[in-house]
């Protein structure tokens, strides 16, 4: 099973170093395709856009995901069960379904803006970032809630007994204790945003070139070792972030 799942990935990595210009057979070792990749302004521009979208969406989704996790674990309120179910929707529903719903929602909002202001607003980095935030919040919330499951509330009570107010108790006691979970959720959100193709494809507009979409457009024309090289680089970054996320969460 593991060979079936990861064998093609291993082949992709190996053939990113081949001298063959079509990348389909081994004719010798070279780093030429990585040099060409970094010299390709369009690919590097798409990579920069992808990092920008991933960073902004990670910061926002981490803040809202952490607040949502605290609310769900610390409080009981009407409709809590429904909110809990909604949190898990982006995790369990097909990503294509979420992308279509986000596309329909963005079209509705942009049309409303046009009717109210008379300005024609097109899909841009903003719509992509909002889509990534909507997708990532659930994952951050789940990770942070896991770090709150075994949190000792007596530490907060002791801080309050010693004169700390709610703000001081949160920043000096609660936040340091759940920080590994927050960092783990943030790294996971960054990884998901970095590799997200379907939502990026549906919500991007003119001039919003993102790396997964750019790779897809190139693959439609022809598969070259340059594509293998950028795919290998994306794979390495994703694996590194996931490993860091696991290590950070284990330090809890």
Tell me, what's the pLDDT at 174? 85
User: Which residues, at least 6 apart from 59, have a Cβ–Cβ distance to it below 8 Å?
Assistant: 186
The Cα–Cα gap between 44 and 24 comes to: 24
Tell me, what's the pLDDT at 140? 92
Total-model pTM: 0.82
Q: What are phi and psi of 251, to 5 degrees?
A: -70, -5
pLDDT of the chain along its 252 residues, tens only? 888 888 888 888 888 888 877 767 778 888 888 888 888 888 888 888 888 999 999 999 999 999 999 988 888 888 888 888 888 888 888 888 888 888 898 888 888 888 888 777 788 888 899 999 999 999 999 988 888 887 778 888 888 888 888 888 888 888 888 888 888 888 889 888 888 888 888 888 777 788 888 888 877 777 777 788 888 888 888 788 778 777 766 655
The Cα–Cα gap between 176 and 120 comes to: 45
Retrieve residue 68's tokens. 């949502």
Tell me, what's the pLDDT at 251? 58
Scan for tokens 């909507």, then name that residue: 134
Q: How far apart are the first and last CA of the chain?
A: 32
Q: Which is nearest to 238 in space by CA: 249, 230, 250, 227?
A: 230
Q: What are phi and psi of 29, to 5 degrees?
A: -85, 140
H helix intervals, 204-250: 211-221, 225-250
The Cα–Cα gap between 100 and 142 comes to: 24
Q: Enter the DSSP assignment of 18.
A: B
């Amino acid at each position: 099973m593991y060979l079936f799942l990861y064998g093609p990935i291993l082949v992709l990595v190996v053939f990113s170093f081949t001298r063959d210009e079509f990348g389909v057979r081994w004719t010798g070792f070279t780093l030429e395709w990585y040099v060409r990749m970094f010299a390709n302004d369009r690919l590097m521009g798409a990579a920069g856009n992808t990092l920008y979208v991933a960073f902004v969406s990670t910061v926002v989704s981490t803040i809202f995901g952490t607040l949502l996790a605290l609310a769900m674990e610390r409080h009981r309120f009407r409709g809590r069960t429904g909110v809990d179910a909604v949190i898990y929707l982006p995790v369990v529903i097909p990503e294509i379904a979420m992308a279509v719903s986000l596309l329909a929602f963005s079209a509705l909002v942009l049309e409303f803006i046009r009717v109210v202001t008379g300005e024609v607003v097109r899909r841009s980095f903003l719509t992509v970032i909002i889509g990534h935030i909507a997708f990532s919040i659930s994952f951050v919330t789940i990770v942070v809630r896991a770090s709150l499951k075994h949190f000792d509330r007596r530490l907060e009570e002791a801080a309050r007994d010693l004169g700390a107010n709610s703000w001081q108790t949160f920043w000096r006691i609660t936040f340091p204790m759940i920080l590994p979970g927050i960092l783990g959720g943030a790294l996971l959100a960054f990884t998901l945003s970095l590799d997200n193709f379907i939502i990026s494809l549906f919500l991007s507009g003119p001039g919003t070139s993102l790396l997964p979409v750019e790779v897809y457009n190139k693959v439609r024309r022809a598969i070259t070792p340059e594509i293998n090289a950028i795919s290998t680089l994306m794979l390495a970054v994703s694996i590194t972030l996931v490993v860091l996320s696991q290590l950070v969460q284990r330090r809890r």
